[in-house]
Amino acid sequence: MSQKVTISLIKADVGSLCGHHVVHPRQIEMARKKLEEAKKNGLIIDYYVFNCGDDLELLMTHTKGEGSPDIHGLAWSTFKEVTEKVSKPLKLYAAGQDLLSDTFSGNVKGMGPGVAEMEIRERPSEPIIVFAADKTEPGAWNYPLYKIFASPDNTAGLVIDPSMHEGFIFRVMDVIEGKVVDLACPEELYSLIALLGTTGRYVVERILRKVDKEIAAVATTTRLSLIAGKYVGKDDPALIVRAQHGFPAVGEILAPFAYPHLVAGWMRGSHYGPLMPVSLKHAKCTFFDGPPRVVALGFQLANGELIGLNGSDPADLFDDPAFDVARTIAMQLADYMRRMGEFMPARLGPEELEYTTLPKILEKLKDRFRHV
């Protein structure tokens, strides 16, 4: 039996160039240097550093399991060093933004960075897709994950492939209460949708294949505002999905993104906008700080090594004319939504804006209200 390997994706916004636009190449370079050292020292097997907009993403493979203080410590010290040695000297914008604590306590969960980790036994061939999004929140994955793992209209394998026919278990987190619930599909599909439709509160933490409890997907679930008690940027999410041979095919995993669904985030984390699938080259937000963007990176694992097209450079899966129509629709939707200005539902509802600066504006008007 093959050795267990853990895939850890740990990400943070530690400052960016030209406002909240894009990670600076020197930040990437510094992070690579740190992870290359860790690879040479044998702490990690392999790594790939990339960015989606202003978020620095550290993808690592190792044998230390989920929640390892060594791996989390490596990510934390990398983010710290990038902040101190690059973001601050270059006066990049919002340097160290997501590092909400000064002291590392063994696990970065609850300290600001987003974490998605899965420990697996590598199959004879192990294709994975790593998604990362900017200017949105973990609830942005609810709709595509429902489509990929529970909708027979999207995933032919749920109908046709005997190894997937029993369905999948969704572990859904209530981010307000900090609780999880497991829902098995297809039998609890309607309950699943009842929760996942409330994207700001219920998010998918992981998905397991029902027959053997094999992990199929894992997502980041951080809500920064709930940690910090105030608005400190959106919790731009990441997601790891295993593909093929008993899991959805790569094409079934990518298909839902051809429809640019509306997600919360965009300008000031306060608006609904379409999630636009883009290549790594276009993973940088512009128009009204958006529209929110998502990249999809394809790898093969080989004994923990991240095999890409050129070393560990992945297949850039949305770098494809097949997603041109989605991008055009996304821009049409973005324009449509912007014409509504600051009127709901273009702007988020008051409960979602609780942690932004809007309550301060409303506070000023409080005493001017007269009884009628």
Which residue numbers are catalytic? Answer: 13, 231, 234
Among 181, 184, 258, 267, binds ligand F6R (CB under 6 A): 267
Using the minimum distance from each CB to ligand F6R, give the nearer residue, 19 or 178.
Answer: 19
Please answer whether residues 49 and 57 qualify as being in contact, where contact means their C-beta atoms are separated by less than 8 angstroms. yes
Distance from C-alpha of 98 to C-alpha of 321, rounded to nearest angstrom: 34
Using the minimum distance from each CB to ligand F6R, give the nearer residue, 34 or 234.
Answer: 234
Report the SS3 class of residue 82: helix
Smallest gap from residue 134 Cβ to Mg ion (A): 4
Asked if 234 is part of the footprint of ligand F6R (rule: CB under 6 A), the reply reads yes
Q: What are the tokens at 311?
A: 């070393």
- The CB-based long-range contact list for 208-215 (8 Å cut-off, 24+ gap) reads 208/168, 208/169, 208/171, 209/164, 209/166, 209/168, 209/169, 209/246, 209/247, 210/166, 210/167, 210/168, 210/169, 210/184, 211/163, 211/166, 213/169, 214/120, 214/246, 215/118, 215/119, 215/120, 215/242
The DSSP bridge pattern shows strands 238-242 and 126-134 to be antiparallel
What 3 state SS string does 86-110 have?
HHCCCCCECCCCCCCCCCCCCCCCC
- Selection from ligand F6R, Mg ion, none that 109 binds (CB < 5 to 8 A by kind) is none
Using the minimum distance from each CB to Mg ion, give the nearer residue, 122 or 289.
Answer: 289
Asked if 269 is part of the footprint of ligand F6R (rule: CB under 6 A), the reply reads yes
Q: What is the CA radius of gyration of the chain?
A: 20
Nearest in space to 181 (alpha carbons), one of 195, 167, 197, 162: 195
Asked if 235 is part of the footprint of ligand F6R (rule: CB under 6 A), the reply reads no
Using the minimum distance from each CB to ligand F6R, give the nearer residue, 320 or 354.
Answer: 354
Smallest gap from residue 11 Cβ to ligand F6R (A): 14
Query: Which 8-47 positions form the footprint of Mg ion (CB under 5 A)?
Result: 13, 20
Please answer whether residues 87 and 56 qualify as being in contact, where contact means their C-beta atoms are separated by less than 8 angstroms. no
Query: x/- site string to Mg ion, residues 82 to 101, per CB under 5 A?
Result: ------------x-------
Binding-site residue total for ligand F6R (CB under 6 A)?
Answer: 10
Report the SS3 class of residue 274: strand
Asked if 289 is part of the footprint of ligand F6R (rule: CB under 6 A), the reply reads yes
Among 236, 252, 289, 352, binds Mg ion (CB under 5 A): 236
Residue 365 main-chain phi, psi, to 5 deg: -90, -10
Among 11, 20, 24, 327, binds ligand F6R (CB under 6 A): 20
Asked if 135 is part of the footprint of ligand F6R (rule: CB under 6 A), the reply reads yes
Smallest gap from residue 197 Cβ to Mg ion (A): 25
Asked if 201 is part of the footprint of ligand F6R (rule: CB under 6 A), the reply reads no
Smallest gap from residue 231 Cβ to ligand F6R (A): 8
Smallest gap from residue 94 Cβ to Mg ion (A): 5
Burial 39-78 (b: 16+ CB within 10 A, else e): beeebbbbbbbbbbbbbbbbbbbbebebbbeebbbbbbeb
- Selection from ligand F6R, Mg ion, none that 289 binds (CB < 5 to 8 A by kind) is ligand F6R
Query: Which 81-100 positions form the footprint of ligand F6R (CB under 6 A)?
Result: 94
Q: Enumerate binding residues for Mg ion (CB under 5 A).
A: 13, 20, 53-55, 94, 134, 236
Q: Enumerate binding residues for ligand F6R (CB under 6 A).
A: 19-20, 94, 135, 233-234, 267-269, 289
